[in-house]
Amino acid sequence: MTRFVVTGIFLLCSAVVTAAVLVSVEEEIEIGRAANEQMRKQVPEFTDATVVKYVRDVGTRLVRAAPGEKYPYTFSVADLPEINAFSLPGGPVWIHRGVLSRAANESQVAAVLAHEVAHIARRHGADRLTQGMVAKWGLGLLGALLGNTGGAGAAQAAASLLTGGVILKFSRLEEKEADELGMSVLTRSGWDGRGMVELFQTLQRQASREQSSVDAFLSSHPSPQDRLANLSAQLSKRRGGTRDSARFRSVKAHLARLPTSRAGR
């Protein structure tokens, strides 16, 4: 469980970026679906209808501006208190309840989702999956798994990899790309790009308050300062757009009246 909490926006980093993605889009979607089933057993899901509907509506608006394949994107809420989110190959996006309760405005929530949509649109999970599978089984067995079982082998492989957390750790380059594309998706969907910058400022403040939780993260991860500087530079071209909404404020008030997150007591 802890592994999934520390990945996502606050991602660990591996040094290598592979060029080849050996998994087809169809396999990727199937793998993501299987992995998401697995995820539902490991992550406490927040099912309040008002909150979930809101997240899906924001997500759907972002997806319209996402480049690349038309993945079957889905949006779920994890009943976890941190500011974090994660995505799986081929469409599934999860956002922590903590993002909704801690965000100061709607554009910050949309920014988190846009970052995860960008990982999927750029096939970062498929890339990670390929690397993980090659490392674990070798190229020959990977080909056999994906080639002759009509997708069942791929799904099985994904489920087994997911338990090791392999596909959730993106590289530094992939994070930078998701930041940049996420900013573009966010603003093209009509939200104010400042939401993305504010989100990183909040993460930075959180990191300075809870140093012990980020020591390992800082040893291998692109520094939040670098990402913030990069995004701020991009922002100068992307001002304007929706910053907040009455609906977000109403969802936030609704959330505040509900019992606190199961994992956050």
Q: How far is the CB of 239 from Zn ion (least distance, A)?
A: 23
Contact pick of 23, 88, 158, 178 for Zn ion (by CB under 5 A) = 178
What is the C-alpha separation between 245 and 105, in angstroms, rounded? 8
Binding mask 146-175 toward Zn ion (x if CB under 5 A, else -) reads -----------------------------x
Q: How far is the CB of 83 from Zn ion (least distance, A)?
A: 13
- Of 175 and 192, nearer to Zn ion (C-beta) is 175
Strand order in the sheet with 45-46: 45-46, 74-78, 92-96, 85-87
Q: Residue 145 corresponds to which tokens in the numbers above?
A: 């798994």
- Of 77 and 142, nearer to Zn ion (C-beta) is 77
Q: Please count the residues of this chain forming the interface with Zn ion, following the rule CB under 5 A.
A: 2
- Of 84 and 130, nearer to Zn ion (C-beta) is 84
Query: Which 109-128 residues touch Zn ion, going by CB under 5 A?
Result: none
- Of 191 and 252, nearer to Zn ion (C-beta) is 191
- Of 119 and 252, nearer to Zn ion (C-beta) is 119
Q: Using CB atoms, what's the residue nearest to Zn ion?
A: 178
Q: How far is the CB of 195 from Zn ion (least distance, A)?
A: 16
Query: Which 22-61 residues touch Zn ion, going by CB under 5 A?
Result: none
- Of 216 and 258, nearer to Zn ion (C-beta) is 216
Q: Tell the residue number behind the tokens 């606050």, with chain if given.
A: 10
What is the C-alpha separation between 255 and 124, in angstroms, rounded? 32
Site for Zn ion contains 83 (CB under 5 A):
no
Q: How far is the CB of 31 from Zn ion (least distance, A)?
A: 19
Q: How far is the CB of 88 from Zn ion (least distance, A)?
A: 12
Q: How far is the CB of 67 from Zn ion (least distance, A)?
A: 17
Residues in contact with Zn ion by the rule CB under 5 A = 175, 178
